[in-house]
Each structure stands twice: as C-alpha cells, then as structure tokens.
Structure 1
Amino acid sequence: MQVTTSSSSTNPFVPGPNRDCCKLGAKASEFRGVAFVQQHSTKRTLSQACKTKAIEAVMASDKGTDALSAASGKGLRGKLNKVVLAYSGGLDTSVIVPWLRENYGCEVVCFTADVGQGISELEGLEAKAKASGACQLVVKDLTDEFVKDYVYPCLRAGAVYERKYLLGTSMARPVIAKAMVDVAKEVGADAVAHGCTGKGNDQVRFELTFFALNPDLQVVAPWREWDITGREDAIEYAKKHNVPVPVTKKSIYSRDRNLWHLSHEGDILEDPANEPKKDMYMMSVDPEDAPNTPEYLEIGIVSGFPISINGKELSPASLLSELNDIGGRHGIGRIDMVENRLVGMKSRGVYETPGGTILAAACRELESLTLDREAIQFKDTMALKYAELVYAGRWFDPLRESMDAFMENISKTTTGSVKLKLYKGSVIVASRKSPFSLYREDISSFESGQIYDQADAAGFIKLYGLPMRVRAMLEKEQAKK
C-alpha cells in the first residue's frame, strides 16, 4: 500500500470564502447488505490515525481469474477506458465492478471517501475491491475538508431544509463527488460511476457536481441501466462472475453516516405512523436515559464559525467530533421527519445530529445579539433558498456561491460565545455575549435613560400606525353612506 501525505496551511479558525457509491458510510448498500456496527464513541478513530494522510492503494489485476479484462474490447453497452466508481465494499458496489467491466470493457478504479463514517466501514476494502476485479483502490480522508468547507458554511448560513433537516447527507455528497473528479484526472479516467438508485436524491447530487467540475466525464449509473432488481439478483450476478458476496449481518435499516449525522430509513420507518424503536439509535442515548444532571458548555464563535469548546480551540472536525460525544450522551439532536425528495416523492427519515444541533443553536443565539431585525429577517429568507440549493445538489451552482459571499459578509460581527445547558434531549441557552453586541442595557432597561426617551414612542406609533388609522377612517365614512 502506497501512502501519500497532504496538508493545508489554511488556518481553520479564520473564516474565509468557500473553496473550491452512492451512500458511502453506514448506508453502504442500497440492499442493506452491510450492517452498521454500533460504536459507543463517535471519535474519529481512523481519521486520528490518518490525520491529513490520503491513502492510495494500487492493486494489480488478477488476469488469470478475470475474463473481463479491459483489454477484451468493447463491452455489451459500449466502450469506456477507465471508470472511477464510488465504492463502499457492500454488495451493490461489489457487483457494479464486474458489471462495468462486462458492459463497458473498462478498467475500474474504486474510490472510497472517509467523511467520518467510522473505521468499521473502511476495513478490508482493498481485498474486497481486488476480489471484485478493480484495478485500483483510492481511499482519501476528507473529514477536515468536509467540515471546514461544507458543514461550516451551511452552519453559518443557518441552512435547514423543511424546518428540520440539517442537511447531513446533502453536504457530504459534493465533497465526495469533487474528490472523484480529482481522482479521475489523476488516473486518466474518462468516466465516473455511482451506485445511487433512480428514486433518491443522491444521484442528482453526484451528477450535478460531476457536470459542474468536469462536464467531459461520462457518468454511468448502473441502477438506471441494469436488470438487477434486488438483493437476490445481485447475489446471483456476483456468483456468476466469481465475486465474493460480502458476508455481513443484514441491517433492517438503510443508514448513512458521516461526522455530521446518522440517518435511518426503511423497514418500519416506511410507515409514518410507526414510532422508531428505541434500539435503532446509535449516536445518542434515549433522552429518558440521559443523565439527571445537566451539563453546561460554552461555544466560542468567530465570524459565524465555531472555534472552541469551553475555551479550548479545536479544528472544525475535532470540535464536531467532541460535541457529538457530549450531545449524544444527553440525547441531543434526534429528529423524525417526512420530507419532500427532489425527485417528487415523500420519504420518512430519522436523523441523529447531536453536535450539529448544539452548534446550530449556538450560532443562532449569537446572531440575536449581533444582527439587527432587517438583517436577521433577510438572512433567514436567504437561508431557506441556500438549504434548498444544497439539498438539491447545487453546491457548485454560482447562486449558492454568491449567497455564501453574502453569508460571509453578514456574519463578520458574529463573534463571541454562547453558554448552553444540555439536559435530556434539550439544548437550553444559558448566556450569550459578543464584543459586537447590539444589545444596550442602558437602552433596554425599564429605567429612564438619556439615549431613549419614552415620550418619543407616541409620535412613532402615530406614524407607524397611520395606514391602519386611515383605513379605519375610510371604512367608518363608507358605513355612514
């Protein structure tokens, strides 16, 4: 295995302009063939080991056992040279490898992104990819980039989709797709492929990113082309092409995990009338079982970006990881919602976002001090559109990038700290302070002051209420006729 190291000199604590498979992570298989392994701690075990390293493993194809060599010529559906596949190691992506080789006569480079989904999802991928017929496996640690360049801008914008969803999966897809485009350039691929179904949002998110960053790449989406309709078909195809079927405990839920959140879909959740089972949750304890004593913590924020917990400065990814642990043990960040998918259907999902819920509350509360009424109202209006664009996969759309420039500018004074009380699933604001606070005790006090003369309110009310008064006078005159 060849290991290459990458690093960035960018200061993660200083906000700046945004820089430039489906279902990787817990939702490793659309067939739910990979069970998510519960971890009591959400600390980034793998990422802490890799830190800023990007791992590239190159494997030679076993042509003695592979009858589908790229050199065999045109495939059943055409000819491609080399395809970069979003790869998780689950059943679906395992069978996509030989399917691509058979149908497009191409070499397949498997790509896996670490966005904080947990080390269990990344173990043994090299052997699995090689056994499936891939010529190369590339694994990159994207956790820091994910949080700093995708999560934090959304957090600063206050982006929430349909009143509840904090966009955990939506933010992860463009960073993965961007990395795939980079890998395609590095290995000389002429196409990219993903394992997203034709019913979901992720196919759109991946492909819009491909279009925006390299419109010359061809895109292959097997779920929209092949005849495989379910798990049994996939297993038969795997056996036919001598692909070892991943032997794992089958999960009853379809899950997606990254450092920001964990989503749950499928099984009993498909009926919105069913309450989620208590043992389904994995990042957070049941609020009823949370500690009986509240925990206080203080979040430090600079220009809309969180930088510290209780005075300790941390990198974005480390800060989020620590808050996941803290929030999880207090049952913070659970939501159950029916949302409108981009493709038109409604779906029901349950999300765990402990650290993100804490950060969203802190940023929102600090803005109550630093932004005036008009600024807050306009920012909230833009946040709705911002969330819609991210949900729809338009991260690299010029509109979102322009809106992000506004968010950066409006948040220049959103600096200070917020103290929160965590207690049995609730995030309660205890205090907030900022050197740019627009709150003035000498003005807000009920006591008399020099800046605000209460007598001035009479004239203001008369002018402010003039339209209502004129309308009432008109109605009264018309009633006399």
Structure 2
Amino acid sequence: MIYGNVLRNGTYPISVSSERIFQAIAIIEYAKEIGADYVAHGSTGAGNDQIRFDLTFNVLAPHIKILTPTRDMILTREYEINYLKQHGFEADFKKMEYSINKGLWGTSIGGKETLKSDQTLPEEAYPSQLTATGEETLTIDFEAGEIAGVNGVAYTDKVKAIQAIEAIASKYAVGRDMHIGDTIIGIKGRVGFEAAGPMVIINAHKMLEKHTLTKWQQYWKDQIGTWYGMFLHEAQYLEPVMRYCEAFLESTQQSVTGRVFITLKPYHYVLVGVDSPYDLMKSEFGEYGETQTAFTAEDAKGFTKILGNAIKIHHAVQQKNQQA
C-alpha cells in the first residue's frame, strides 16, 4: 500500500478495508484449525464489510456456515444502545453514537453526521486530539520503498516504524478528512477518518518517488496503484491479478531510497524536501529554469520544431480548409 501510494478516490488510505481481508483470513484459518462448523461476524447489511467477510469465508472455507445476526435481524446502532440501557448496562453511550474502527493504518469514524451530505464530524468525535503546539521536524528514511528509519532511529520492524510515526504525527491532529465513495453494493457511502501516520507516510513516499523515478515510471505506478487499491477495497485481495500488481509495484522501488523531511504543525504538515543518492534533480545535466549541460541551444531549437511538427501540420490543414 505504501509502494502504490494507495488512496481511495485520492483521499482515503483504505484504513479499515485493507485490514478486514486479513482479519477474515485469520478468522477462517483458525475456524478450520479447530474444526468449527460456523463463523460469525457483526457487519450490517448496508456496508462493505459484510462482503469482505462473506466473500473471504466462502472462498477459503465454503463448507463452513456464516452467522450474521446484526444483518439478519436488521439491528441499528440506536436499537442496540436502547437495548443496553433498558437492560441496565452502564457504558459511555455518547461515545457509542459513533462507529469507530481503529487499526494500524488509521481510524474510520461514522456517525449521524456522516449520513448527511452537508455535515462534518465534530472535533470531539476524533479519537486523537490536538495536544502539540508549534512546529516539529519529522524525518522518514526509506530503503527500496520501505520505511527504514524515523528521526534518525533505525527500524527493522515496519509495524513499529508505522506506530512511531503515528505517535508523533497524531499529536498534531493531521491526516483527518471525509471520504465519499461508491460502496461495493452500489450505494454512495460517507465516512470520516483520521490517519496521521499513514497520510504522512504515503505523501512522504510519493514525494521521494517524484525525485527518484522517471515520468513514465510514476505514471504507470499511479495506474497500477489505483487499481490495486480499488480491488483491495472491494474485497478482491484473493483475485490472482493482485499478485501481478504487487510484483510490479515492488519492482518499481529499487531506487526509492532516501530521507524525507516533514514539518508538522497543528492540523497540517509540510513536505519540505528529500535527500537521496538517486535524486534525479541532483544530476549534472542541468537545473530547471537555470542552466543545462546535456544539450546546446541549437539542439533545443531542433527538438522544439520536431516536437511540434504534427500539431503544426494539423493547424496548417485546418487553416487552409477554413479559408477555402
């Protein structure tokens, strides 16, 4: 997902959807291990998760039956809260008004505001609150596209590296947004999210790629990354073509090595720059808008004539026919 800079609709780092498939795989593998006849999940009948769990269970263990009480009984959040109250349970019912799914790659937040097109989540709905003031410099080291260090500290455990970045960035309440997209079942859906670490990581990684990959490497990576994210989001992780996408994305990362500098501020961050031995801007062939050493002025004139030749011919023919 870092290799592909995956953002659903250019916004959402598919925080929940990317985790559901692996949760489903772990559940069904354990169910097979203990010889279970049934598995269950608590998804409603109105979202994507029901598809992700059902599809994975059916593919990997079609002989195991699936129980879905929340979907079958059409249990709403309001009904569940009232049921608990009526039966004497004590809980933070105010907090229960929001559906919060927290994981390694971000947190999704759903509530009454996300059911409308003209409202946004209140500040208190976000689990991570602004606690930092001023500015802070964050550095992320990448080696072949993978996180290798945070603020100069080396990490071999990539999960711990992600958690370290999240711990630093979340204090500034960055990475918040509203995602609006088309669900697998064909209806529009809206959800809030906070993903401080993932958003900083993805954008830092993408910036490093801008410096270390060619134009066409970036272009085709964007296409494959978008498709990969779409298939993953829509419960197609087990589709064989996903292995081809992964192989392609991994092959693009050989030169994506270097350090990215980020400035964190309350509610936003700035990608300052990069330092990489593979930085294509640091070549001896020229500086954009200043000087060049790879070709002469006459070369530039000839290149411009050839580049514009097809357009020039088309324009001349159009002009001739308009005059006639």
TM-score over 0.5 (shorter chain): yes
Q: How many angstroms does 1:480 deviate by?
A: 2.5
Equivalent residue number for residue 308 of structure 1: 149
Once residues 324 and 178 of structure 1 are traced to their aligned partners in structure 2, the CA distance between those partners, rounded to angstroms, is 26
Matches within 5 A, 1:209-220: 209-220=56-67
RMSD, aligned CA: 2.4
Q: How many angstroms does 1:221 deviate by?
A: 2.2
Equivalent residue number for residue 245 of structure 2: 403
Q: How many angstroms does 1:341 deviate by?
A: 1.6
Q: TM-score, normalised by structure 2?
A: 0.90
Q: 2:116 aligns with which of 271, 278, 287?
A: 271
Equivalent residue number for residue 312 of structure 2: 469
Once residues 299 and 232 of structure 1 are traced to their aligned partners in structure 2, the CA distance between those partners, rounded to angstroms, is 46
Aligned length: 319
Cα gap change, 1:436 to 1:216, in 2 (>3 Å): farther
Cα gap change, 1:235 to 1:189, in 2 (>3 Å): farther
Q: 1:248 aligns with which of 91, 98, 117?
A: 91
Matches within 5 A, 1:36-185: 154-185=1-32
Matches within 5 A, 1:372-451: 372-445=214-287, 446-449=290-293, 451=294
Q: How many angstroms does 1:374 deviate by?
A: 0.7
Equivalent residue number for residue 458 of structure 1: 301
Question: Deviations 1:297-348 (Å, cap 9, x if unpaired)?
Answer: 2101111111210221222221122211211112211112322222122222
Once residues 265 and 301 of structure 1 are traced to their aligned partners in structure 2, the CA distance between those partners, rounded to angstroms, is 33
Letter in 1 for 2:128: M
Q: Tell me, yes or no, if structure 1 residue 204 matches structure 2 residue 55.
A: no
- 1 or 2 for the larger relative contact order (CA 8 Å, sep ≥6)? 2
Q: SS where residue 460 of structure 1 aligns?
A: helix
Once residues 164 and 280 of structure 1 are traced to their aligned partners in structure 2, the CA distance between those partners, rounded to angstroms, is 19
Q: How many angstroms does 1:160 deviate by?
A: 0.9
Q: TM-score, normalised by structure 1?
A: 0.62
Cα pair 2:42 2:71 within 8 Å, conserved: no
Q: SS where residue 281 of structure 2 aligns?
A: coil
Cα pair 1:420 1:429 within 8 Å, conserved: yes
Cα pair 1:284 1:332 within 8 Å, conserved: no
Letter in 1 for 2:115: E
Q: SS where residue 443 of structure 1 aligns?
A: coil
Matches within 5 A, 1:264-303: 264-285=109-130, 290-292=132-134, 294-303=135-144
Q: How many angstroms does 1:442 deviate by?
A: 2.4
Question: Deviations 1:4-51 (Å, cap 9, x if unpaired)?
Answer: xxxxxxxxxxxxxxxxxxxxxxxxxxxxxxxxxxxxxxxxxxxxxxxx
Once residues 164 and 175 of structure 1 are traced to their aligned partners in structure 2, the CA distance between those partners, rounded to angstroms, is 22
Q: 2:68 aligns with which of 221, 231, 236?
A: 221
Cα pair 2:45 2:74 within 8 Å, conserved: no
Q: 1:368 aligns with which of 201, 206, 210?
A: 210
